[in-house]
Amino acid sequence: MSNSPNSFPEISVLIPFKDAADWLEECLDSILDQTFADFEVIGIDDHSTDQSREIFEHYIKKDARFFLFQNPGNGIIPALEFAFSRSKGKMITRMDADDTMPERRLELMNNRLKRCDLRTVVTGKVLYFSEHEVSPGYLDYQSWLNDINMHGDQYANIYRECVIASPNWLTYRENIELVGGFGSLSYPEDYDLAIKWYEKGVKFEAIQDLTLYWREHPGRISRNSNSYSQKAFFELKINAF
């Protein structure tokens, strides 16, 4: 094994995955390539039927910072809640198995968060990519998201759309506990988490660097699950407002 785990690492990276064999290796390689090394990776297999679990197990064999568990429930929310319960990091971030990190993401986010108040979430710029063409709607969302984050306008836009990409933030674990953990969330869970942070007075701090390569593909759960439909977003806004 190339690295020894810290009993209490600085950062825990939570990765729920289901049938992600086409992209998981690229995602995990991008984490291994990080310039910041004091992390652990908590993978939660959400009942995959492809080779995802075997791929993740390969990383466990070569790096002691990787840990794998089976989702005791079904779906992203119970997977995240279980991953968080098994994590030991002082700071928490999330990754989706079909996305990748620029190599300095953890370093840059860690450096910024340590200079902020406890009640802070750090984010950065996103860039969509695809084996095909990225649709205009996603490119518009990318531009909007990057713009509001760079100008600190997240909460002024909180009821328009989700103001932070689900796999593109870093915060202290206390800020997950502050909202009742991932298990307290409703779908779409990324938007609900942002709203709950807003209600608790947690601040967003954005760095000027690219911190997420966001893959666009036809199999994305946000494209195909009713949990991420426009109706689901609308109902969440109404309940929060």
State the pLDDT confidence band at 232, using cuts at 50, 70 and 90.
low
Residue-averaged pLDDT of the chain:
92
C-alpha pair distances (Å), 48 with each of 17, 56, 70, 85, 153: 8, 12, 10, 21, 38
Please give the residue that has the higher pLDDT: either 64 or 221.
64
Residue 18 to residue 43: CA distance in whole angstroms = 10
Mean pLDDT across 234-239: 58
pLDDT digits (tens, 9 = 90+) for 130-173: 988 898 999 999 999 999 999 999 999 999 899 999 999 999 99
CA-only gyration radius of the chain, Å: 17
Q: How far apart are CA 161 and CA 147, in angstroms?
A: 13
pLDDT at 7: 82
Which domains, from first to last, does the chain contain? 11-240 (3.90.550.10)
Q: What is the mean pLDDT of residues 24-40?
A: 99
Share of the chain above pLDDT 70, in %: 88
pLDDT, position 141: 94
Write down the pLDDT at residue 1: 45
How do residues 83-118 score in pLDDT, each as one tens digit?
999 999 999 999 999 999 999 999 999 999 999 999
224 confidence band (pLDDT: 50, 70, 90) = very low
- Please provide the distance, in angstroms rounded to a whole number, between the alpha carbons at the two ends of the chain: 50
Q: What percent of the chain has pLDDT over 90?
A: 83
At residue 132, the pLDDT reads: 85
Residue with tokens 């939570």: 14
Write down the pLDDT at residue 220.
56
Average pLDDT, integer, range 203-227 = 79
CA distances from 16 to 50, 201, 211, 230, 241 (A): 15, 27, 19, 23, 29
